[in-house]
Amino acid sequence: MNSKAVATPKRTKEILNTYGFAFKKSLGQNFIIDVNILKNIIQHAEIDKAAAAIEIGPGIGALTEQLAQHADRVVAFEIDQRLVPILEDTLTDYDNVSIINQDILQADVRQVITEQFEKGQPIKVVANLPYYITTPILMKLLMDRLPVDSITVMIQKEVAERMAASPNSKSYGSLSIAVQYYTEAEVAMTVPKTVFMPQPNVDSSVLHLKMRDEPPVQVENEDFFFKLVQATFGQRRKTLMNNLARHFKSTMDKQEINQRLEAAGIDPKRRGESLSMQEFATLAQNFRAHLNE
């Protein structure tokens, strides 16, 4: 079986030639041509025969094939209709795979989980995501609070670093907080561009997100919390005071903002990148209380 793995340069070229498949730049298609990388991803995702896997963007089935060998069931969402017959061919040996020809951003993933997987089965999302749409896909999966255990994805190295960043680092920003509010995030490995066909312009990383049972901080209004976080990073080089004054200009003057910051025990001269998630939660609580007075 392995000698015929999809993820080799030779087999990938054969499949593409057989079907006359041309990569669509608009869909960010880069196929993995290295089986060892895929085995590492499977390992980081902790896929075993008890687990069900959801894949996004299976391409010609390189990762899907490995998932099918290691997981109980695999459901893969593929937006490109041209790939459906190719996947039916490359995955013909596996009866535990379903391909859904749909955009993951439009899909009712919760319903698919109910229909396709056993009740209570551990579910892992595993994917080699297109760069151009990584953040919207991950944020949808997180904000929909799907019953999944973890998400393990190959994404642009720089984006992976931002999602897993700690305070006081240049990668840390509103995206770090949004992702870490829902998950424990770690960069599992870095991957050179040479393992892809065609080669992208940037290096990639495998990001592992373990879903949290509860957020690490208590927030009364999540929408307000995330907007406030975004506002503090509005202009990275500016202080909290300046960014918040801009954000709240129609509802609060600088003196009131100063009072709120002091009430939260936070120096107005600090920058957003120096605040921990707990400090952001305290800040949000103080500002919201003031606006509701």
Question: How confident is the model over 74-86, as pLDDT tens digits?
Answer: 999 999 999 999 9
pLDDT of amino acid 293: 56
Residue 136 pLDDT class (50, 70, 90 cuts): very high
Domain ranges of the chain: 2-211, 222-292
Q: Which two tokens stand for residue 129?
A: 């995501």
Looking at residue 82, the DSSP 8-state letter turns out to be G
Q: Is residue 30 part of an annotated ligand binding site?
A: yes
**Residue 120 marked ligand-binding:** no
Write out the E strands in the chain: 31-32, 52-56, 73-77, 97-100, 123-128, 150-156, 183-191, 196-197, 204-211
Flag whether 36 is marked binding: no
Query: pLDDT tens digit string along 247-263?
Result: 998 888 999 999 999 99
Largest CA distance in the chain: 70
CATH no., domain 2-211 = 3.40.50.150
Q: Which CATH class is domain 222-292?
A: mainly alpha
Q: Residue 36: CB partners within 8 Å, gap ≥ 6?
A: none
Q: Tell me if 286 is assigned to a ligand binding site.
A: no
Whether residue 78 is annotated as binding a ligand: the answer is yes
Summarize pLDDT for 90-120 with one digit per residue, the tens: 999 999 999 999 999 999 999 999 999 999 9
Question: Would the CATH topology of 2-211 be identical to that of 222-292?
Answer: no
Model's pTM, two decimal places? 0.93
**Which candidate, 262, 256, 254, 255, places its Cα nearest to that of 283?**
262
pLDDT band at 223 (very low <50, low <70, confident <90, very high): very high
14 is known to lie in a ligand binding site: no
